[in-house]
Amino acid sequence: MDATTAAPDRIVISDLCKSYGDLTVFDGIDLAVGEAEIVSLVGPSGCGKTTLLRCIDGLIPATAGQVSIDGEPVTEPREGVAIVFQHFGLFPWKTVQDNVGYGLRMAGMSKREVRKRVPKFIQLVGLEGFEESYPYQLSGGMQQRAGLARALAIEPRVLLMDEPFGALDAQTRELLQFELLSIWQQQPTSMVFVTHAIEEAVLMGHRIVLLKGRPSSVAEVIEVDLPWPRTRETLSLPRFQEIREHVWGQLMGEAAAAVREQH
C-alpha cells in the first residue's frame, strides 16, 4: 500500500447487519476505510452494496452493529459525507448550477456564497456553458458529471459512489474514471466505490472488498498493489491483469452458483 493510505481510519464499520423483515441482506460486516483510501466494493447484484452505502451515509438505520465516521457513530446523514447515486439522482426541476449547489444550500450556505463556490466544481467536471441547463437537456455522461460536481462541491471527507459510471458508454466511463482519479489525487478523500465492472474496481481501489453469500458478508479483501497515480498504462500492467483475473474468478464463481440456485 502507498503512503497516503497509512493515515488513520475514517470510516469504521463493525459487525454490521441489515435486515428487511425476514430478509437479512448482510451480517457481520467489518471494514475500515482510511482517510485517503479508495475501497472498491464488488459483489453480485442484490448482495447489499447499495444498502451498505446507505447505512454508511446514515440514510437508513442498521439492524445491528455500528458505522462510525471520525470516531462518531452514524445515526443520520451528516455533514461532509456525499453520495453519488446509481442513477444520477439529479433534481429534474433544477438547473445544473442549482443541482451542484444543492448540498451547500442544505448545509446552510447563503445563495451568494453558493453562487461563488459552484463554478469551480462545474469547471472541475467540464460542464462550463451548461450552468443553466436542466438535466433532461444533458447526456447521461453530463448528468453524471453534474452528480459528481454536486458531491464534490461540499468538499466531502467521505465520498460514497454507487456505480457512478454504470449507466455510461465505455468511452465516457473511461474518461470519467481518470477524471475522478485525478480529482482524488488533488483532494484525497475517503471513498467507497461500488461497481460491477471488475477493471474499474481494480483501477480505482487501494483495496477491493468482495461481498458474498446470503446474507452477504466480506468474503475477501484484495490489496491492489499497483502504483499511483493510476493511468491508462496501469491497465496494461501484468499485475493489473492478475488482480483482475483473481476478482473475476471470485465473482463469476458466485454468479454461476446464483444461476444454479435459480434452476
Ligand X SMILES: Nc1ncnc2c1ncn2[C@@H]1O[C@H](COP(=O)(O)OP(=O)(O)OP(=O)(O)O)[C@@H](O)[C@H]1O
Residues that bind ligand X (CB under 6 A): 20, 23, 25, 43, 45-51
229: preceding bond cis by omega (within 30 degrees): yes
Q: How far is the CB of 196 from Mg ion (least distance, A)?
A: 9
Q: Whole-number minimum distance, CB 100 to Mg ion, in Å? A: 24
Query: For ligand X, which is the closer residue by CB, 55 or 148?
Result: 55
Q: How far is the CB of 51 from ligand X (least distance, A)?
A: 3
Smallest gap from residue 145 Cβ to Mg ion (A): 21
CB 68 within 8 A of CB 12: yes
In this complex, which beta carbon is closest to ligand X, that of residue 48 or of residue 147? Answer: 48
Residue 146 touches which member of Mg ion, ligand X, none, C-beta under 5-8 Å by kind: none
- What is the side-by-side order of every strand in the sheet holding 81-84? 81-84, 158-162, 190-194, 38-42, 207-212, 217-223
**Which C-beta is closer to Mg ion: that of 35 or that of 254?**
254
Phi, psi of 16 (to 5 degrees): -80, 135
Which of Mg ion, ligand X, none does residue 25 bind to, with CB < 5 to 8 Å depending on kind? ligand X
Binding stretches for Mg ion (CB under 5 A): 49-50
Residue 151 near residue 101, CB atoms below 8 Å: no
For the bound state, the minimum distance from the C-beta of residue 44 to Mg ion, rounded and expressed in Å, comes to 11
Tell how strand 158-162 and strand 38-42 pair up.
unpaired
Given ligand X, Mg ion, none, residue 45, with its beta carbon under 5 to 8 Å by kind, binds ligand X
Assigned C-alpha cell, 174 = 473511461
User: Is 85:54 a contact under the CB 8 Å cutoff?
Assistant: no
For cell 448528468, name the residue. 143
By C-beta, is 41 or 176 nearer to Mg ion?
41
48/101 with CB nearer ligand X: 48
Residue 232, all three cell numbers = 491508462
